[in-house]
Amino acid sequence: MVSFFKDYKWFAVIFAIISIIIISIIYNTLNVYQPLPVYQPSMVSTELVDSTLQYKKKYHKIADFSLTNQNGKIITQNDYKDKIYVADFFFTTCQTICPIMTDHMVKIQKEILNDDDVMLLSHSVTPTIDTPKQLKKYAIKKGVNDAKWNLVTGDKKHIYQLARKSYLAVKDAGNGDAYDMIHTENFMLIDKQRKIRGFYDGTNSDDINRLLKDIKHLKQEYKQ
């Protein structure tokens, strides 16, 4: 019996080493970093995409913009250069989904408060009503941190074009009425190259948690 174990000792050692190597390879293969998808207009419901873009399959990114925030400051894409950010569309007098969305943005703000890589951007869909003064009043009420989160207003046509052609976030391009644009509850995760990397239900707590996880996941992409 002793002789038997002596004869197979080295076999057992070699088998154990090979087993460890195989297990390590399988583990590393299963845990390879998988980047978040890059959303193109062709991947999104046609009701949210301008007809001129519905079949675009690549190279989509957020267009240049120039809007005014709650402090009367002009905000452009340069203020979000090399930043990951979460964007949405809302209006301050909304009594339905907007308060829930804003409360969830507040939650995200709390989580990213000390993260210099991440910011927030909320666009008013009723810019004639949501003046900088009105946005400031709303920002104070909701606890908006000016360094992390811009509530923006501006030219209505410009905002609508951003919503339909850049963020893919509204169901109607507008017909001229103050409340005509049918915005969604979507939050959009935008990367440092101004590409859409995720859509989330801004009224759903589980989706907000998924968004926060995806922000961390996206940050890993820039460390690869």
Give tens-digit pLDDT for 183-206. Answer: 789 999 999 999 999 999 999 999
Has 98 been labeled as part of a binding site?
Answer: yes
Tens digit of each residue's pLDDT (9 = 90 or more) over 144-160: 999 999 999 999 999 99
CB neighbours of 217 closer than 8 A, spacing ≥ 6?
36
Residue 123 annotated as binding? Answer: no
Q: What is the mean pLDDT of residues 214-220?
A: 97
Q: Which pLDDT tens digit goes with each residue over 88-146?
A: 999 999 999 999 999 999 999 999 999 999 999 999 999 999 999 999 999 999 999 99
Please write the tens of the pLDDT for every residue from 43-79: 998 888 888 898 899 999 999 999 999 999 999 999 9
Report how far residue 157's alpha carbon sits from residue 160's, in angstroms, rounded to the nearest whole number.
5
Residues 169, 176: Cα–Cα separation, whole Å: 18
Q: Is 187 helix (H, G, I), strand (E, B) or coil?
A: strand
pLDDT at 22: 67
Q: What is the pLDDT of residue 46?
A: 86
Provide the whole-model pTM. 0.83
Nearest to 197 by CA among 52, 50, 61, 49: 61
Q: At what angle do helices 98-112 and 205-221 cross, to 10 degrees?
A: 40
Q: Which fold has domain 41-221?
A: Glutaredoxin (3.40.30)
Beta-ladder partners of 186 = 201
Question: 61 near 135, Cβ under 8 Å?
Answer: no
More confident site: 17 or 121: 121
183 is in an annotated binding site: yes
